[in-house]
Amino acid sequence: MIEVEQKFVVDDATLSPVLQAASFIGERRFTDTYFDDPCYSLTTKDIWLRARDGKWELKLPLRNAAQQSDDQYDELTDEDMIREKISLPKNNSLSEDLAAACFAPFCTITTVRKKYSLPPFVIDVDTLDSGRKIGEVELMVNTEAEIPKAVSRIKRFFEQHKIPLAPVRGKAIEYIQMHNPAHYAALRQAGVLRNID
């Protein structure tokens, strides 16, 4: 399954009628630690390797980032597939092999995520330690061919509920901008900062 998603800036006045019509699925708190090497080899290709509460995940762009107007990433959780995509041979555990290849954590973010269902959409509302809130509307599809239709449906959902479709600085991008100017400059130079810079 492919998750087609669009983030939005949460404005409680706009969002509360939408959430009232939705069913609350649940709330979870998780911590993401993101990894890259000193040349930013992954993130400058818009590839995001993270451990979410200790479980490895790799987010890979489905299209060239410069053409993207929405968040469309493939997400791998199988460690052998992750190794294959980042060309990391197996000698020891994934974390040991990453460290040996000079991959190190560059940011850690804790999120409280509330999940709602408004079929066929799933709505996530993330709250960060800073209090900042980011929303996300998601639709699941089976094949890449179904992505354009899903993108249109999500756009219509935004119009219908008068949610502004403005570019959103994601959590990891915001962290890098605040804490690591050299990394942020490398992302900008690589053209990875979709729609914001």
Interaction site with ligand V4E (CB under 6 A): 46, 48, 59, 65, 71, 73, 111, 169-173, 192-194, 196
In the bound complex, what is the minimum distance in angstroms from residue 73's beta carbon to ligand V4E? 5
**Rounded Cα distance, 165 and 152, in Å:** 12
Phi, psi of 42 (to 5 degrees): -85, -55
CA distance 107 to 105: 6
**Closest CB to ligand V4E among 45 and 153?**
45
Residues 44, 96: Cα–Cα separation, whole Å: 23
Of the two residues 94 and 176, which places its CB atom closer to ligand V4E in the complex? 176
For the chain, what is the largest distance between any 2 Cα atoms, rounded to a whole number of angstroms?
53
HSE at residue 86, side-chain half, CA atoms within 13 A, is: 34
> Least distance to ligand V4E from the beta carbon of 169, Å?
6
Measured CA to CA, the distance from residue 175 to residue 109 in angstroms comes to 8
Judged by beta carbon, residue 94 or residue 168, the one nearer ligand V4E is 168
Minimal distance, residue 170 CB to ligand V4E, in Å: 3
Q: Of 183 and 194, which has the nearer Cβ to ligand V4E? A: 194
> From the CB of 32, what's the least distance to ligand V4E, in Å?
6
